[in-house]
Amino acid sequence: MAETGKLEAKPVSFEDLIKWEKIKYEAPELTGKIETPCIKENASLSYKAQLYKGKDAIARLGYPTEGLIPNWKEKFLEKMDEMLKKYRSVRLFMDICVRCGACTNKCHYYLGTGDPNNMPVARAELMRKIYRRYFTPQGKLLGKKLTNSEDLTEEMLALWYTYFYQCSECRRCSVYCPYGIDTAEITMAAREIMNSIGIVQKYMHEIVDKAQYIGNNLGMIPDAVRNAIEFVETDLQEQTGLDIKIPIDQKGAEILFVTPSADFFASPHIESLYGYAKVFHQAGISWTMSTYASEGGNFGLFVHNYNNMKIINKRIWDASRELGVKRVVGGECGHMWRVLSSYSNTLNGPFDWLNPKYSIPQHICEFTLDLINKGALKLDKSANDEFTVTFHDSCQVARGMEMGGTASGQYEIPRAVIKACVNKFVDMPENTIKEKTFCCGAGQGLLGDDMLPIRVKGAMPRMQAVKVVKDSHGVNFLALICAICKAQMSKMFPTYGYPMEEVGGIHQLVSRAIVFGAKEGI
Amino acid sequence: MATVEFQGKQVEIDEDGYLVNLDEWTKELGEKMATDDGLSLTEAHWEVINFLRDYYQKYQIAPMIKILVKEIAKILGPEKGNTKYLYELFPDGPAKQACRYAGLPKPTGCV
Ligand code: SF4
Ligand code: SF4
Ligand code: SF4
């Protein structure tokens, strides 16, 4: 008889445990306050991510294609062992948590759902329970009873799938942890362990595959990329009467510019492409985009599997060498910035042929600010007078590497560009910006429509902060530098009752303010 | 993966209601998907859907919204050439909803 004493409990299959169902969602009323919620057990247990069924793609990515493999337990523990050895930090994070609780109310998904498994420490405990049971002498000897651990069961695996896909790997929790425990690392390892036994989430892996084999996240073939860029070029020329070019695959250009493919497909992303092109035009520096390296964002970062991240990153590496450029500049993209600045050298080797005088890579905000400081860009702030602007620090930038060679560059540089383009700028409350920034709620593989219920909950802290500056200063433009943030926020604004048009990129503001003709100081 | 029965044939659709095999699309099927959503397709809707399908054949992806807006302005007049009008036609967003009725896959990326 089952432990609970229930007779005839219907056996549920693993597929049932993680079955995706459409769930109605509604945005909570905004109050401007971010309060720690009361614990609601299992509040977001039913929010699942869709599983990937694209067998060819899954095979290309190197994972089992038929769903959960029969000998999954054995493989799971093997893979976990490998992860613990390969990523020493993950093993360390298993051992050193003292359960002080400092991280508990720092995660936007916990704040939004009240589900205790979304407390960073509890999320990590899902892995620790298995760790203690199978990887410590006590656990091996005594089993789960005395060691606060768990057996590896289908129920446990379902909890993993649920809650490791309710983490956007934003690393906010690590800022508050006295030991610097980074739950994002644990999530990445957990996802890779699940991949290895055939539990492959759809949204992000479909995209990783497209980025590897077609060259960008949207799966745009070179002709489609060209068509989109040429459209923007023509439109720019019509608007300005100037011969503004967006060069494609041009050998010998000074700069290779890489940006998320969303920037030549979606709104409001595309508005920043207008801005980038105007900046390059005004600077008079030769530049090119690439149909081969037509993606900045590297979703390979979302799981601990350097192989996929490496293949995606190599496109940029190859293109910059083949085109013979001297600099690589990256557009408004959080994950690209993190991979290019922190991992690229280890993945594919250094960019030896680039000019070391400039940051490798250079962020478009740094590039633009440099021109502004040299007096090479003239900006008319009054062109943006209809806006009162605030800035959302994208977590992958804010908690990634410094920008422009100074420790706080990733906070100051984007703000300096905005302030050069607008008269009215105000920051959101201090505990929601810079290194303490809240994720938009859709990062690292959670942007799919299947995840909308959790996206709405996870966006709550950011939306509360937006409300504060809306009420106090009449903010009506949220400036962003990440394609996912743009997609997520332009969906969340209307969901929370604000106009979608109030969301856009920093270079959208630059685009409106730039004054052509003035050309000095380069 | 689910199937729906349509005109005596089993048609496969994914969890989000998009066609799995794009060549199974017919006009009537597009019509039915819209009716199920409580929408009746007018000529303006069809201009959008047809343009999406043509573009897709050439480029294997739906056009960006700006291209669509410009095209619609050409066909239906400049006063209809804006995003707002497209959202009036397809309240769930022209890219996603219209693509579904047109039998195209859902664009996914950072969008
Ligand atoms: S803050 Fe760090 S040490 Fe404290 S409970 Fe959270 S993860 Fe553990
Ligand atoms: S990394 Fe971000 S999403 Fe994940 S547990 Fe920490 S705060 Fe939450
Ligand atoms: S989507 Fe943006 S805010 Fe969210 S995790 Fe990524 S960079 Fe951070």
Is the pLDDT score of A208 beyond 50?
A: yes
The complex's ipTM? Answer: 0.93
pLDDT score for A204: 96
Comparing alpha-carbon positions, the chain B residue that sits nearest to A223 is B59
pLDDT score for A218: 96
Mean pLDDT of A359-384: 96
Sign, Cα dihedral of A246, A252, A257, A261: positive
Name the token pair of B44.
Answer: 């303006």
β-strands A514-515, A378-379 pairing: antiparallel
> d(Cα A195, Cα A216) in Å, to the nearest integer?
22
Average pLDDT of chain B, as a whole number: 92
Active site (catalytic) residues of B = 110
**Binary contact (A265, B83; C-beta < 8 A):** no
Residue of minimum CA distance from atom 3 in ligand 1: A97
pLDDT score for A305: 86
Distance B111 CA to ligand 1 centre (A): 34
pLDDT score for A66: 96
**Binary contact (A218, B1; C-beta < 8 A):** no
Atom of ligand 2 nearest to the CA of A119: 5
Banded pLDDT at A501 (limits 50, 70, 90): very high
Banded pLDDT at A522 (limits 50, 70, 90): very low
Banded pLDDT at A11 (limits 50, 70, 90): confident
Banded pLDDT at B2 (limits 50, 70, 90): confident
Residue B81's CB is within 10 A of a number of other CB atoms, namely 17
Contacts with A217 from chain B: Cβ below 8 Å:
108-110
Give the position of tokens 């520096």.
A285
Mean pLDDT of A305-318: 93
> d(Cα A224, Cα A135) in Å, to the nearest integer?
50
Mean pLDDT of A94-103: 97
Q: A245-256: per-residue pLDDT in tens? A: 999 999 999 999
Average pLDDT of chain A, as a whole number: 95
pLDDT score for A368: 98
**Binary contact (A269, B110; C-beta < 8 A):** yes
Residue of minimum CA distance from atom 6 in ligand 1: A103
Do A230 and A117 meet the contact criterion of CB atoms below 8 Å apart?
no
Residue of minimum CA distance from atom 6 in ligand 3: A443
Contacts with B16 from chain A: Cβ below 8 Å:
449-450
Name which of B55, B84, B107 is nearest A217 in CA terms. Answer: B107
Name the token pair of A507.
Answer: 């270079």
Q: A31-40: per-residue pLDDT in tens? A: 999 999 999 9
β-strands A389-391, B2-6 pairing: unpaired
> d(Cα B59, Cα A385) in Å, to the nearest integer?
39
β-strands B2-6, B9-13 pairing: antiparallel
Compute the CA torsion angle A150, A155, A159, A161 (nearest 10 deg).
120
pLDDT score for A3: 47
Name, in order, each residue with C-beta under 8 angstroms of A379's C-beta and a sequence gap of 6 or more.
A372, A420, A421, A510, A513, A514, A515
**Binary contact (A218, B83; C-beta < 8 A):** no
**Binary contact (B111, A216; C-beta < 8 A):** no
Q: Which of B61, B95, B108 sits opposite A448 (nearest CB)?
A: B108
| Å between B57 CA and nearest CA of chain A | 11
Name which of B51, B43, B44, B9 is nearest B26 in CA terms. Answer: B9
Q: What stretch of H or E contains A514?
A: strand A514-515
Do A192 and A305 meet the contact criterion of CB atoms below 8 Å apart?
yes
Q: A52-93: per-residue pLDDT in tens? A: 999 999 999 999 999 999 999 999 999 999 999 999 999 999
pLDDT score for A2: 42
In CATH, which of 3.40.50.720, 1.10.10.370, 1.10.600.10, 3.30.360.10 is domain B43-101? 1.10.10.370
Is the pLDDT score of A495 beyond 80?
A: yes
Determine what percent of chain A is predicted with pLDDT higher than 70: 97
pLDDT score for A8: 59
pLDDT score for B5: 82
β-strands A255-258, A287-288 pairing: parallel
> d(Cα A479, Cα A394) in Å, to the nearest integer?
10
Residue A204's CB is within 10 A of a number of other CB atoms, namely 25
pLDDT score for A224: 97
Say how many residues make up chain A: 522
> d(Cα B58, Cα B15) in Å, to the nearest integer?
27
Three-state SS for A295? coil
Task: Collect all residues from A whose CB is shorter than 8 A from any CB in B.
Answer: 20, 50, 53, 203, 206-207, 210, 216-221, 223-224, 227-228, 231-232, 235, 260-262, 264-267, 269-270, 297, 333, 447-450, 483-484, 486-487
SS3 sequence of chain B: CEEEEECCEEEEECCCCCECCHHHCCHHHHHHHHHHCCCCCCHHHHHHHHHHHHHHHHHCCCCCHHHHHHHHHHHHCHHHCCHHHHHHHCCCCHHHHHHHHCCCCCCCCCC
Mean pLDDT of A370-377: 95
Mean pLDDT of B14-38: 93
Q: A225-235: per-residue pLDDT in tens? A: 999 999 999 99
Sheet holding A503-505, edge to edge: A389-391, A477-480, A503-505
Pairs of CB atoms within 8 A across A/B: 87
Do A300 and A208 meet the contact criterion of CB atoms below 8 Å apart?
yes
The domain spans of chain B are: 43-101
**A103 touches ligand 1 (CB under 6 Å):** yes
